Structure 1
Amino acid sequence: MFSLTYEFKLKPTSAQIALFEDWLEQCRRVYNYALAERKDWYKSRSCRINACSLHSEYIIAADAPRPTYSHQCKALTAYRQTSPNLQSVHSQVLQQTLRRLENAFVRMWELHHGFPRFKKAGAMRSFVFPQLGANPIQGSTIKLPVIGWVKFRQSRSIPDSATVKQVQIVRRASGWYALLTLQWDVQIPDVIPQGEAIGIDVGISHLVAVSNGQLFPNPRPFKQLESKLKLLQQRLSRKQVGSNNRKKAQCQVSKLHERLANIRKNNCWLLAHHLCDGAGTIFVEDLNLKGLARGFLSKHCLDAGWGQFLQILEQCCFKRGVFFLKVDSKKTSQICPNCLVLTGKKELSERVHSCQDCGYTTDRDVAAAQVVLLRGLAAVGHTVKMLSEGKAVALPVMKEFPSL
């Protein structure tokens, strides 16, 4: 099975918008109630059996089962019979809300994320229809269960061979969006190393450095719009809580954050497509992004969006048949790509790589990208001779990158 997600902007009526907002509020209440049930069960087991807590005590029967997804779905089915508000919401939409809570606990246990938190009013921004009827899309309209036909802006054609498996309705500052999950009943063969190979090193001064010597600038959208964001947030802090002016100010801040995200995402897609145009094999560093996001350059690292770029690049390589591989990122800037000698740690102010053994000189980030290329070629079984009369191996030069 092969699946892709297409995003379209909806054009709902005022009545449909009111229905969307009511469903989001009902999903938020179900989420908070289920979370409170699980939290109370855990707190009732947090104290010792021979002592009571001085702060608070949760008394729940010892034989009461732990609230799970299946248990809470059964309780929700029974409770819907007595609640007119929940009866107006599609049952599978509420079940997907409980599934979201279950996934949050799984990430807490397996990925060591924080304990799930309650969602305040307006924090729930999406709900999911896991199943749709036959032929849910006709022209530029989509039929949602219970809600009916909703218009959307068809910015791209939907393949006839694809099957719409589910749709997620998302509320953003710029409007309502539908994320369609399309599925094809085909088997995609694994991509093998082919064509020209390049190595990529990500950075702050330059977003991407390629092993062939190309450097791509970092747009730094947050740094460019930081002063405007600061001004809007100051205006927001001065508004009275609960007033319409505060809601308008919040909308302005949200729109600016969405603009920042769109600029960063658009730049990543442009760069990913350009790299795939000139190479058949791409090697990147396997970075510890969480650790970098907690360092003293965390603000600049998050503004560059390395994790999003690498994820988009991997998706672009998969769609276009380009081999993609992550390699070890240790000491890529401390090794000479020409003679493979360890040159030692460089300060951040040193932007030029100059090897004292072989005399090879190039940009620091380009040298790291060339080391990434060598490690990638070695990982796939290629034999590369790096020392050739004291000169670096010639690498292919791609066509000029479009201006951003």
Structure 2
Amino acid sequence: MTLTINYRYRLHPDPIQEQTMLHWLEISRKVYNYALREIKDWVNARKCSLNYCSLSKEYIIPANKSFPTYYNQQNALPLAKKAFPELREVPSQVLQTTIRRLHDGWNYFQQRGYGFPRFKKFGQMKSMLFPQFKTNPITGWQISLPKIGIIPINLHRPIPEGFVVKQARVLRKADRWFVVLTLQSEVSRPEAQPHGEAIGIDLGLEKFLTTSDREFIARPRFLTSLYRELELLQRKYGRTKKGSKNQEKVRLQVARFHNHIANVRKDWQFKLANHLCSKEGIGMVFVEDLNLKAMSRGILRKHTLDAAFGQFLNVLEWVAKKHQIYFSRVNPDGTSQTCPKCGTHTGKKELSERRHRCSECGYETDRDHAASEVIRLRGLEKLSTQGLWGIENAYAVGLPGTEATQSRSEAKPRREKN
């Protein structure tokens, strides 16, 4: 079994190396746009109106010409280097991965039916990939990249023993450079199995997180608390002259501010995830399988995107695997309309109604806490339906939905054949 992890480090290139990488990104952008132009021309040449021809444009492409696939465009790079000598300045594999990146987006567009790849404007190409290395590029506090040379790297955490650097992606955020190293090792890492106690987690905007063991976490407003300062920076950027040095200076200030907000948010989410997974006796974590795309389009989309529920769930899943804790997502429908004690459907609640009151059993608690208890019960029921009975844990007997199933201890012994 191959284990793959990604580590990100800060790069400190000198001015010459920085200008070289910026030049490579611009060449990669042109290659990306040229390849996309070939795809769009081929597509437009295969569609027309039924009763008339267009008077404004014409695509003179032979009908027998095949679609410009990844391999066709990759094989055309050697000929393109003869016509455009500047392509020789960039490592060939970097240009190949740029075309691969375009076709990954094209394949994704065909699968979901929308999201046609777009042309990239100046400065929108932010990263380039070095897909393989003959030897280990890390030497002490330096990394060696093809045609660039040795660049100082902030190796704030060492590469784990037994892992090999397979590829490196150099990316630029604002005025800072980073490298994402993909590390691989032939190790066997067992999947986390259900064990210990279980907690259910309900996410929301009034309280960011509520657990089934009555822990309430307030929602920090990362963007909205700093929105006034960001608004002033953007207004300052709008007053600058287009293409001036002052505009570039203010643009970097806005980009740095956005990166600061994103870093603060992600740091807080990692700390919260480690806090939840470090609780004594916790072996299972259940969350809602939310429709995050629909949530980000509602009237509270600004606050929903600021909370970054999707990013937090991914962080929580990664941290749970690191702590060998079983992580699972359950059906989110009706979690706030079901009583966790008797299972009665209590009906739809308005957002202003923050208490759960069951008319059948009289159970009363906080609305979000009741939802987290329902999530926990659905997670345990999901385990019982998946057939995870051979695993010894605190909930091996008595899971919801097992009343009609004969207990293992009461099962009759099988008759031996004579």
TM value normalised by structure 1? 0.93
CA-to-aligned-CA distance 1:22-61 (integer Å, 9 cap, x gap):
1100100000100111111111111147631244222211
Deviations 1:149-178 (A, max 9, x none): 111111111113111010000001151000
d(CA) in 2 for partners of 1:46, 1:244: 45
**CA deviation digits over 1:273-318, x for unaligned, max 9?**
1111122110110111111111121111111100000011111112
Which piece of structure 1 moves more, 53-62 or 209-218?
Answer: 53-62
Q: Does 1:376 align with 2:379?
A: yes
User: Residues 194-343 of structure 1 correspond to what in structure 2 (within 5 A)?
Assistant: 194-278=195-279, 279-343=282-346
Matching residue of 2:25: 24
CA positional deviation for 1:268: 1.1
Measured after TM superposition, the shift of residue 384 of structure 1 is: 4.0
Deviation string, structure 1 residues 79-126 (Cα, Å, up to 9, x no partner): 123332110100000001001100111111113341111111111000
Change over 3 Å in CA distance of 1:31–1:122 after alignment to 2: same
In the TM superposition, what is the alpha-carbon distance from 1:385 to its structure 2 partner?
6.7
Q: Distance in 1 between matches of 2:59 and 2:203?
A: 50
Q: Which residue of 1 aligns with 2:392?
A: none
3-state SS, counterpart of residue 169 of structure 2: strand
- SS in structure 1 of the partner of residue 337 of structure 2: coil
Match of 1:63 in 2: 64
Residue identity matched to 1:288:
N
User: Could you tell me how far 1:265 is from its partner in structure 2?
Assistant: 0.8
Who wins on radius of gyration, i.e. which is larger?
Answer: 2
Rounded Cα–Cα distance in structure 2 between residues aligned with 1:344 and 1:77:
66
Query: What's the counterpart of residue 366 of structure 2?
Result: 363
Matched residue, 2:390: none
CA displacement at 1:191 relative to structure 2: 1.5
Indicate the residue corresponding to 2:357 in structure 1.
354
- Please give the alpha-carbon distance, in whole angstroms, between the structure 1 residues aligned to 2:215 and 2:176: 38
Q: In structure 2, what residue type is equivalent to 1:250?
A: R
What is the letter of the counterpart of residue 336 of structure 2? S
The whole-number CA distance in structure 2 between the counterparts of 1:258 and 1:66 is 40
User: Residues 72-151 of structure 1: matches in 2 within 5 Å?
Assistant: 72-151=73-152
Q: Distance in 2 between matches of 1:164 and 1:365?
A: 45
Q: Secondary structure at the match of 2:199?
A: strand
Aligned identity (percent) is 45
Find the counterpart in structure 2 of residue 402 from structure 1.
Answer: none
1:136 is displaced (CA, Å) by 1.2
Following superposition, the deviation at residue 138 of structure 1 comes to 1.0
* Aligned length, in residue pairs: 386
User: Which amino acid is 1:95 matched to?
Assistant: Q
When structure 1 is superposed on structure 2, of 73-82 and 289-298 the one drifting more is: 73-82
Partner of 1:181: 182
**Aligned mates of 2:353, 2:183 — CA distance in 1:** 48
Please give the alpha-carbon distance, in whole angstroms, between the structure 1 residues aligned to 2:276 and 2:168: 31
**Cα pair 2:286 2:330 within 8 Å, conserved:** yes
Deviation at 1:207, TM superposition (A): 1.2
Alignment correspondent of 2:415: none
C-alpha distance 113-228 of structure 1, shift in aligned 2 (>3 A): farther
Q: Which amino acid aligns with 1:190?
A: E
Distance in 1 of aligned mates of 2:190 and 2:226: 43
Give, as a single letter, the amino acid of the residue that structure 2 aligns with 1:128: L
Moved over 6 A (4+): none
Alignment partner, residue 408 of structure 2: none
The 3-state SS of whatever aligns with 2:348 is: coil
SS in 1 for 2:223: helix
Corresponding letter in the other structure for 1:77: P
Give CA-to-partner distance per residue, 1:198-234, whole Å, 9 cap, x none. 0111111111111111011111201111111111111
Q: Which position in structure 1 is the counterpart of 2:162?
A: 161
Kindly state the Cα deviation for residue 242 of structure 1 after the two structures are TM-superposed.
0.2
Residues 385 and 43 (structure 1), Cα distance of their counterparts in 2 relative to 1, 3 Å cut: closer
2:347 to 344, 347, 353: 344
Give the 3-state SS of the residue equivalent to 1:221 in structure 2: coil
RMSD of the alignment, in Å?
1.4
Distance 1:49 1:320 in 2: 61
Asked whether the 8 Å contact 2:136–2:164 carries over to 1, the reply is no
Point out where structure 1 has 5 or more consecutive residues left out of the alignment. 387-404
Unaligned runs of 5+ in 2: 385-394, 402-418
How far apart, in 1, do the equivalents of 2:334 and 2:51 lie? 54
SS of corresponding position for 1:134 = coil
1:36 partner amino acid:
R
Give how far 1:364 is off.
1.0
SS of corresponding position for 2:83: coil
